[in-house]
Amino acid sequence: MPHPSLPNSDACAANCWTFVDAFYYSITTLTTIGYGDVTPHSKPGKIIAAILIPFAIIAHTAALGKIHDISQPRKMGADKTLRERIDELHEVIDADDDGIVSMEEYILFNLKKMGKVDDDTIALLREQFNALDADGSGALDAGDIDYLQQACDMMGDGSKPPSKLGSPRAASNAGKAEASDGRDGPDRYKP
């Protein structure tokens, strides 16, 4: 006679899992898919699953994070030799033919190479910067912010920048137009 705590063969056939069932359940649970076609049936099995599943998901996520951390330095170029870095410098120099690599050029080149940024994004950010550079100095300072704030106040809601500042070309042309009509400061944004 079997022990009372052991399932009989009929009950086990309906509720016991094969190795494949257990593996399938663990994969669908760890990936948080959880189809629900294979689930624990007994009360103790459900309690154990409820306790172990959160820990298993956390461990799975941490393992994937570690794998990512291992591959990230290589992608970022931390393992490059000096010779590889010199070859990259030649690529940067060849890109603009001025024989000099500025910090900005070096950073942008590497960000593009890593796939972190593309030419369209850089062009958009340059355009935004030029639109915010109210005095055309090539740097943003408190004076630019004051001019832009006054322009927003004059426009009312301040939701859109003045049309003169819509693009870098328009911003530089706005500076030329101001010189011709003599207006300076916040008045230059008035139509």
CA dist., res. 60 & res. 46, Å (int)? 20
The model's confidence at residue 101, banded by pLDDT at 50, 70 and 90, is: confident
- Ranked by mean pLDDT, the top range of 100-109, 126-135, 154-163 is 126-135
- Cβ neighbours of residue 68 closer than 8 Å, sequence gap 6 or more: none
Q: Which residue has the higher pLDDT, 70 or 46?
A: 46
Task: Summarize pLDDT for 68-95 with one digit per residue, the tens.
Answer: 877 766 666 666 788 888 888 888 888 7
Task: Summarize pLDDT for 50-69 with one digit per residue, the tens.
Answer: 998 899 889 988 998 888 87
Task: Specify the pTM.
Answer: 0.42
The structural domains of the chain, ordered by start, are: 9-76 (1.10.287), 80-117 (no CATH), 118-191 (no CATH)
CA dist., res. 50 & res. 40, Å (int)? 10
Q: What integer pLDDT is reported at residue 190 of this predicted model?
A: 44
